[in-house]
Structures are given as C-alpha cells and as structure tokens.
Amino acid sequence: MKVQISNGIFMALIINMVYAKAIGLTQGSIAREVGGDMWISTLFSTIQGCLMMLLTVYLIRKTPSLNIIEQSEVLLGKWFGKIISLLLFFFFVGAAGAVFTTFVYHLKDYFLPEAPTFLFILAGMVIAVFALYHGIEVIGRMALIGVFSILMLNILIIIGSMSDFDIKELLPIFDAGLVPDVWASRHNNTDWAMATLMAAMILPKVKENKTWSKSGAYGILLGGAFVVLWPILESGVLSAEVAGQYIISCMQMARSAEIGLFIHRYEMIMIAFFALSSITQIIMTFYCATISVQRIFGIKKFNRTIIPVSFVLSAFGYWVVLDHHRAISYIESYWVLLAMSISVGVPIILLLLGLLFKKKLKNANAENLGT
Amino acid sequence: MFPKYIILFLSCLLLLSGCKTGKRELSDLALVMAVGLDKGEKEGTIKVTTQIARPADARGSTGAPSGQTGDPIWSASAEGETIFQAIRNLSTFSSRRVFWAHNLIIVINEDLAKEGISDIIDFFTRNPELRMRTWVVVTPNPANQVVSTMTGLEVVPGEALDKLFRYTPISVQAPRTQMIDLQSAYLNESTQPILARLHFVKRGVSNKKEGQAGAYNQVELAGAGIFREDKLVGTLKPVEVRGMIPFIEPIDTGVHILSCPDDKSKKMTVELKNQKFSVTPSFQNNKPSFKISYQTTGSVVEAACPFALEERDKVRALEKMIEKEKKKDFEKIVKKAQIEFKSDFLELGKVFNNKYPVEWRKIGPSWETIFPTVAVEVHTKATINDTVLLKKQTKPGSVKN
C-alpha cells in the first residue's frame, strides 16, 4: 500500500521547511541590504512564495499520482525526466549547504565553539539517515512537533523581548525604497523555494488532493507569519543596524531576551525548540535529494540510495560551513541564483510543456486511474 | 537488522563524545561579575580588571565566609595591547578559566573612553560568551577600583551595580545603558552613544566602628557620559540627566522639588506621574525643526508649608513653576547637545528620518553640521491634581483657618 500523509502533516512540513533558516541567516542578509525594511521584504517574499506554491499545486494536480519528476518523464520521456531529476538534485545539494550552515552556526558559534564542525554535520546526517529509513510518515509526525516547537519559540521570544520593543525602530516604512525591498526578498525566496520544490516531490503522497492548494498556501502563509515576527522584533529590539551586524541575527535576539528579572539566559530552551525545525529542514532536503537520485539512476529501492546521497549532501554542507566567509557569500549569492533559477524555472518549463502536451498528461492520468 | 543497530549505537557513541568537547566544569570556571577597563601603564595598552565571584564566600544574603577567606570576590588585573590579550594574560595567574557569561557590568575609565571605545564595543559584541544586556558605564575614577568596591547591601559588588540600575527610573540620576543600546547608537548614522556614569562618594557608614561614618568609598550614579562617534566628549550632571532621559527612554515617575509659593525658604516635593513626552519634527524652507511637547500630572507628596488643593492660586503657581523648570531642563539639554557637545545623543536625527525619510536623504549626510543650527521649540504643561492622603493643610492647631 502506498504511504499517504495527511494535509495537516503536509502543512507542518512546509512550515518547518520555511522557518529555520529564514529567521536568522536570511534576516541578517536582508538587514544588510534594506535595514529596517527587513520585515517588509519578508512579507513580499511570503506573497511570492504563496503564488509559487499555488503554481506547484496546479502543476501536480494535472497528474495527481505523479510527482514533478514523474510528470516530466510523461511529458518528454525518460531522459528529460533525468535532466529534471539532476536539476532538482543540484537544488537540494545547494539547499543542504544553506540548511547545514543554519544548523551548525546556531549550535557551534553560540554554544559549542570548541567542538569540531564535523561533529554537527555528522549529528545532522545520522539523524537524517535514521529518519529517512523510517519514511515520510515518521518525518511528518516529527514536523508536527516541530510546528509546536516553532510556536513555543515564538511565544518565548515575544514574552522575552516585548519590554524592549520600540516600534519607532520600524520607521520609516519603505526607507530603502520599494524596488530594493522587493529585490532583497530574494534571500527569503530561497527559503520557500525549498518548500515549493519539496511539495512538488511529495504532493502525490498527500491524501486530500482537493485541498492541496489550501494546505500549500496556508502552509506558506503560516510559515511566513511565524517568520515575519522575527524581523519585526529584530528591528524593534536590536535595531536593523545591529541585526545586520550578525551572521545569525536571531541568536542575538534570543540572547537578549529576558522574562522579568528572574528568567533570563534561556536561549538553551529556545534552541532546543529551534533545533527540531532545523533538523526537519535537513531531513526533508535529504529526502528530496534521495528521490531525485533514485530517478536519475532508476534505482527501485529508496533505502539503497539514502546513505550515498547523505554523504554527498553532508560533504557539501561541511565544505560550505567550514569557512564563515564562504558560507555567507555562498548563501547570499550563489545559492540565491541556483535556488531561484531551479525553483522558478523548472515549474514554468513544465507548465509550458503541460500546455503543449495536454493529451500526454490526460493519458497518463487515465492509465494511473486504470491501475 | 542487527548491524543497523550496531551502527546506530556507534554513531550515538561518536556524537555523544561532543559532551567531552568544549565541556567546562563549573568548579573550573572563574565567574566574572564585573569588568573594569583602564588605560594600561605602558602607552597603547589596556588594563582589564575582572571581579570574580568566590562561590564559597558569596553564599546566601550575607556572604558568610564559609570558604574562610572573608572575601566574596577576587579582583584581578592584567594588561595587554588588546582586550583579548589582556584577558589571556589573566590566565597566567588565575587558577580558573575566566568565564564571561555572567558578567553584569562593564566599567570604562573616562581617560580610556576619551581615546575611543570602538574596540570595546567590537570585543563585547563579538564574543559568544558575552551578552547584550550587560550594563556599560563610564567613570572618572580608576575602573579597577570601581569594580572591586563593595557597594550597598549585596555581597557581590557587580550584583550591587546591576541592581543600582534597576532603580534608576526612580532616582533619574543616570541613563540605563546596556551594550545593546551602545552598539545600536554607535552603528546608527545620526545618533551618538551615551553611557551612564558612576563615581565614588564617601558614603559608607559603619555601625561598629565609631568615627568611620563617611570614611570609605561607595559607588554612586553620577549622570552620563556623552560620546561623538566612539570618543567621550563630555559629561552630564545628574540634574541635567533629568532633561535628557525622556528623549531616549520611556519615562516613569519623576520627582520635582520646588520652593513654596508663599515662603521661598521652604520646599515642596511634587511627584510627577503620567509624564507624556513627544518630539515632533517639521521641515519648512528646507530647514528641519523640532517641537518638544511635555505633559504631566503631579502629586504633592511633601510640603514644608501649609498647602491644600483648594488654594487654586498656589496650585497654579506650582504648576507654572514645574512647567518653567521642565522647559528649562529640555532647552538646556538641547543646547548642550547642539552647542557644547555637537553630538546628537537625543536621537533627533532618527526622529526626523522616521517622519521625513525623503528629506532625510538630502540632509542626513550633513546632519553633523546641520544639527547644531536646528531650531527646537519646547512646550510644557503641568497639572497638580493630587495631594496623596491629605485633604487639609498640615499646620499647628493654634493657627486658625
């Protein structure tokens, strides 16, 4: 029997996929470009993400039982499917660099600066491999706990920083200008890009295909709402100048939070909540990369692909993370280019091909219904 | 199935070795409670003094010396060409590893602050052990003495200094400046940093040894240090801080001492409540200007002369006095910022930018030269509507109404 996940779990996966990198690394990059308008850029990005998610759902709905790679095979044959798989594999390898940077820098730079980097990479890899062997259902259930963790983290940061929040720090609105604000949103676009391409891979496993659009859009919007809180607080508490100084600006927020006089220095609790979301990001990146490799080489068994793919992604993540300068310049330039071109390019190509070869898609649907 | 679990077990074993990496035993750490920064004896060096808690002797509320040393703290100084080097030099004689995460206050000597504190800002905001919520102050006294002076009721002086700032909104003697504020002001294009100021006063009173009243030093809040970029350019007296606080911090209650309307030799105290302060920028004829508006309601908490709310003339006279004094406070601080220090520590540029971002782009780059010439208008309004518990005047029974 085919594994199926609920729409709620699908939403939880999207929220987790959007969150971890977006609140820290991404906000630092945006703050360096548009200062106090960082929250506006994040909002713009959420709207763009929502539209891309709707486009992804529209594409997959044409062949509800096939993922984006299988649909491309239907449209232009096996080799075209392999090219799309390769592109998606590159995307998720690139994403591994970004998510490992998020995971490692949060833990190593702030908590265990003397621990070797490979230890964190290994931890992420082992957990991801373990999760992948247990399948999407288990990962999905973990993502549900991840949403609870995100909610708790947000509540804790609000309580701990509201007393120092100065709304004037958010002014003037559109200080950097509308065009720069929209342009800066590309950093956050890479975060929802991971979510939309993940959706393109796992949508056929989501039970209620009638509510895919709603689940997908709500997932992005909720994820966006959870994320946008951070740039607002980072501007209002730290100031945009300070947020822009740091690689992981959300950690500075967390380290400055205090609940009254008695409860402070509780970032250890917050990082525990954060880690679950960050780990889910790593797991889903591995999961989607594994599916891509499976299709490239035509490997029947998913489990056989897990370990080699995990090593490739972890090795790339390790290489990126090893040098702070390399990590940040990769995330702010190369990764944006790679992520945007693939996450927007591939769906648009398939959309156009779908319009040209409507019949092929219809036949594939009929075949699948027949089976 | 079996090898899978062995692999998992071995992986866990490898990962759990992370507990060994970077592990620090609590008994191996020297917990810094306060740090003082002075100029070093050699030219171009910096002297770092750390106030380290001695856990065995800093217990409970009295610091009963169970460790038998008698001192709840241990202060140590070291010099270096950089702060980091000075801290490393501490380890040449400290038996424990210096740990910064619990540092409560950074005290900078004014001679050092005059030369620039950019390296201090950088170091204390770059290090993962240090926190943004640490108080930062300047002092005219040697910082190494300030951090090792027992003050107030607390066992650990660093804790005493920390608590000193918790109650500053009541005393309004100094701004409450933390590293997060200093960094933010330093990085801002128009705002200049200010720091709280501490100094020594002979205030200690011994109830055990006669003749020792006021014989030893205590640390006291003493106004503010004004910066331009990263250099200390002047200081404000505590009485001047009263006019500055509303510009940079949310205001709580305040206290105002006035002469009695009928008898100038006697004093009245008015507690100012519901203080509302706003700065409104405007831009006319290509010139920025500001309107400062202040409103408060007062409560007479002490009167050395007969006073009741029914005496409307007296009430109005007091209100006028408060309005006049407050106006003077604000005008004085603005003048000091514009003329004496040429430093926008009042955040006027920021306020202007918030309302006129387009115009700010034109004048922002030359704000340093424009700021001293900007017109500032002050409006104050005070209402006395409360005499706490008393309805009638406090006067001898022989005096008839």
Write out chain A residues lying below 8 Å of B360, CB-based: 172
B268 burial type by CB count under 10 A (0-12 exposed, 13-18 middle, 19+ buried)? buried
Q: What percent of chain B has pLDDT over 70?
A: 85
- Yes or no, beta carbons of A115 and B21 under 8 Å apart: yes
Confidence (pLDDT) at A267? 85
Distance CA A42, CA A48 (A): 10
Model pLDDT for residues B348-397, shown as the tens digit of each residue: 999 999 999 999 999 999 999 999 999 999 999 999 887 766 666 666 66
Q: Which residues of A206-294 form beta strands (DSSP E)? A: 258-259, 263-264
Residue B252 pLDDT exceeds 80 = no
Write out chain B residues lying below 8 Å of A307, CB-based: none
Q: To 10 degrees, the CA torsion angle through B385, B387, B391, B393?
A: -120
Token representation of residue A242? 């300070």
Residue B215 pLDDT exceeds 60 = no
Spatial contact of A232 and A28, defined as CB atoms under 8 Å apart = no
Write out chain A residues lying below 8 Å of B180, CB-based: 164, 237-238, 242, 256
Write out chain B residues lying below 8 Å of A237, CB-based: 180
Verify cis geometry, omega within 30 degrees of 0, for the bond prior to A172. yes
Confidence (pLDDT) at B209? 57
The packing angle between helices A117-134 and A78-104, to 10°, is 130
- Yes or no, beta carbons of B18 and A112 under 8 Å apart: yes
Q: Determine contact: B180 vs chain A, CB below 8 A.
A: yes
DSSP A172-188: STTSS-HHHHHHHTHHH
Highest-confidence range of B55-64, B206-215, B359-368, by mean pLDDT?
B359-368
- Yes or no, beta carbons of A175 and B15 under 8 Å apart: no
Give the pLDDT means over successive 10-residue stretches in chain A (371 positions): 83 94 93 93 95 93 91 92 96 96 93 88 92 93 95 93 88 90 96 95 89 88 93 92 90 85 79 92 96 92 92 97 95 96 95 90 75 51
Confidence (pLDDT) at B9? 77
Write out chain B residues lying below 8 Å of A168, CB-based: 350-351, 354
Q: Nearest CA to CA, how far is B301 from chain A (Å)?
A: 29
b/e burial code for range B374-396 (CB count within 10 A of at least 16 → b):
bebebebebebeebeeeeeeeee
Confidence (pLDDT) at B205? 60
Confidence (pLDDT) at B161? 83
Distance CA A231, CA A239 (A): 10
Residue B168 pLDDT exceeds 70 = no
Distance CA A41, CA A53 (A): 18
Confidence (pLDDT) at A287? 96
Lowest mean pLDDT among B42-46, B64-68, B314-318: B64-68
Spatial contact of B172 and B241, defined as CB atoms under 8 Å apart = yes
CA-nearest residue of chain A to B122? A245
Token representation of residue A310? 């995990």
Average pLDDT, chain B: 84
Residue B178 pLDDT exceeds 60 = yes
Confidence (pLDDT) at B10? 75
Distance CA A230, CA A243 (A): 11
b/e burial code for range A254-290 (CB count within 10 A of at least 16 → b):
bbbbbeeeeeeeebeebbebbbbbbbbbbbbbbbbbb
pTM: 0.88
Lowest mean pLDDT among A41-45, A50-54, B50-54, B321-325: B50-54
Max distance between CA atoms of chain A, in angstroms, equals: 68
Model confidence at B64, in pLDDT bands (50, 70, 90)?
low
Q: Nearest CA to CA, how far is B125 from chain A (Å)?
A: 9
What mean pLDDT comes out for the span B163-187? Answer: 84
Confidence (pLDDT) at A171? 85
Of B401 and A13, which is predicted with more confidence?
A13
* Cross-strand pairs, B78: B48
Model confidence at B19, in pLDDT bands (50, 70, 90)?
low
- Yes or no, beta carbons of B22 and A115 under 8 Å apart: yes
Confidence (pLDDT) at B165? 83
Spatial contact of A25 and A252, defined as CB atoms under 8 Å apart = no
Distance CA A133, CA A287 (A): 10
